[in-house]
């Protein structure tokens, strides 16, 4: 287990955003965090990413209890996060974005040739087929942009890759592209935390599934313990909808 939470909780003023959530991330596995809007998914991963500090429970990295001091601390421990907005500059080239904030140096000058080559090679190693690393990131599809962000995290030594709703804004085909790179990162031995509200995206790549409902963990399931139908039903509030259907039935 690279990363683990035990009974973690977080409060924002009077809002209890997260309570008693336990989950784990192993190398070479994908842990999916599922839940409706406002369920606490982003809050949970921001704790894992060092953006927020938890105020209940324990956080463990490599089996040892830690208190992350900030995103830099998390990154130094190999925990990298790709956010929905991606933090990329659309008008800048693919290779430039790849090295944004951590440009390789040759003397004092920026080593452009090396940066281009490394970006091209890393994208290729992830199976990402980008014709021209000089093209602006803004000309890539949404799925390709997510893929570049994933390849970048892998290159800079991530052991845990946290993805906040990487497929939510994408169509079926583009979502498939991103799911393939998630599997690729997993095959390279990374532990992946995949946040989504879509069980159809989670099930094919997930090894374990954590369901969040209004800040509370509704249990962590291994793939063998839950069918796609059960996951979908839990996620879509199956029981609540049945009750509603009963209530609205004509007399
Ligand atoms: N920085 C914050 N300050 C106050 N409330 C917050 C903050 N971040 C999240 N919340 C609240 O915590 C709850 C969970 O939000 P969030 O983690 O963003 O959910 P999700 O990502 O699942 O949609 C919501 O009620 C939200 O309004
Ligand atoms: Mg969110």
Q: Which of 24-38, 73-87, 149-163, 191-205 has the lowest mean pLDDT?
A: 73-87
Q: Which of ligand 1's atoms lies nearest the C-alpha of 164?
A: 21
Name the residue with the closest Cα to ligand 1, atom 24: 38
Give 102 or 100, the one with higher predicted confidence.
100
pLDDT at 124: 87
CA dihedral 186, 191, 197, 203 (to 10 degrees): 50
Distance 45 CA to ligand 2 centre (A): 9
**DSSP symbol at 151:** H
Name the residue with the closest Cα to ligand 1, atom 2: 12
C-alpha angle 49/185/102, rounded to 5°?
55
Strand ranges inside the chain, DSSP E: 3-12, 15-25, 30-35, 56-61, 64-66, 79-82, 105-106, 109-110, 160-164, 191-196, 208-213, 216-222
Residue 214 has pLDDT above 80, yes or no: yes
Residue 242 has pLDDT above 80, yes or no: no
8 Å CB contact between 49 and 79: yes
Residues with CB under 6 A from ligand 1: 12, 15, 17, 35, 37-43
Q: Which of ligand 1's atoms lies nearest the C-alpha of 41?
A: 22
Query: What are the structure tokens assigned to 111, written together?
Result: 């080593």
Mean pLDDT (whole number) for 132-150 = 88
Name the residue with the closest Cα to ligand 1, atom 11: 17
Instruction: Give the ligand whose atoms come closest to the C-alpha of residue 215.
Output: 1
pLDDT at 18: 97
Mean pLDDT (whole number) for 228-243 = 74
Instruction: Give the ligand whose atoms come closest to the C-alpha of residue 40.
Output: 1
Q: Where are the domains of the chain?
A: 3-89+160-248
* Per-residue pLDDT band at 142 (split at 50, 70, 90): confident
Give 147 or 189, the one with higher predicted confidence.
189
The closest of 177, 65, 191, 194 to 127, measured between CA atoms, is: 177
pLDDT at 108: 58
Q: What does each C-alpha distance from 243 to 65, 102, 124, 210, 249 come to in angstroms? A: 42, 53, 50, 24, 10
Distance 34 CA to ligand 1 centre (A): 15
3-state secondary structure (DSSP) of residue 166: coil
- Percent of the chain residues topping a pLDDT of 70: 90
What residues are paired with 195 via a beta bridge? 33, 164
Of 34-38, 41-45, 237-241, which has the strongest mean pLDDT?
Answer: 41-45
Residue 169 has pLDDT above 90, yes or no: no
Q: Which of ligand 1's atoms lies nearest the C-alpha of 37?
A: 23
The phi-psi region of residue 165 (left if phi > 0; otherwise alpha if psi is between -120 and 50; otherwise beta) is left
* Per-residue pLDDT band at 109 (split at 50, 70, 90): low
* Per-residue pLDDT band at 55 (split at 50, 70, 90): very high
Residue 28 has pLDDT above 70, yes or no: yes
**Mean residue pLDDT across the chain:** 88
The closest of 160, 144, 164 to 97, measured between CA atoms, is: 144
Mean pLDDT (whole number) for 88-100 = 89
Q: Which CATH class is domain 3-89+160-248?
A: alpha beta
Mean pLDDT (whole number) for 136-153 = 87
Largest CA distance in the chain: 81
Mean pLDDT (whole number) for 71-91 = 87
3-state secondary structure (DSSP) of residue 60: strand
8 Å CB contact between 115 and 95: yes
C-alpha angle 207/59/101, rounded to 5°?
85
Instruction: Give the ligand whose atoms come closest to the C-alpha of residue 36.
Output: 1
Phi, psi of 249 (to 5 degrees): -60, 140
């Amino acid at each position: 287990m690279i990363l683990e939470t035990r009974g973690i909780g977080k409060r924002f003023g009077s809002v209890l955003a997260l309570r008693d959530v336990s989950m784990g991330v192993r190398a070479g596995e994908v842990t999916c965090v599922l839940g409706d809007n406002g369920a606490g998914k982003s809050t949970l991963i921001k704790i894992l990413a060092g953006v927020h500090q938890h105020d209940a429970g324990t956080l463990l990295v490599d089996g040892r209890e830690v208190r992350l001091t900030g995103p830099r601390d998390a990154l130094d421990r190999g925990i990298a996060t790709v956010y929905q907005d991606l933090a990329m500059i659309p008008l800048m080239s693919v290779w430039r974005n790849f090295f944004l904030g951590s440009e390789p140096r040759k003397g004092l000058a920026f080593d452009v040739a090396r940066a281009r080559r490394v970006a091209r090679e890393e994208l290729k190693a992830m199976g990402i087929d980008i014709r021209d690393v000089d093209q602006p990131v803004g000309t890539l599809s949404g799925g390709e942009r997510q893929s570049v962000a994933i390849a970048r995290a892998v290159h800079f030594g991530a052991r845990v890759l946290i993805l906040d709703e990487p497929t939510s804004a994408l169509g079926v085909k583009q979502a498939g592209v991103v799911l393939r790179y998630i599997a690729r990162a997993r095959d390279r031995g990374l532990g992946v935390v995949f946040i989504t509200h879509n069980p159809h995206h989670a099930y094919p790549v997930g090894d374990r599934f954590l369901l969040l409902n209004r800040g509370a963990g509704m249990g962590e399931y291994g793939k063998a313990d839950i069918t796609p139908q059960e996951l979908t039903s839990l996620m879509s509030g199956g029981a609540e909808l049945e009750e509603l259907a009963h209530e609205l039935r004509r007399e």
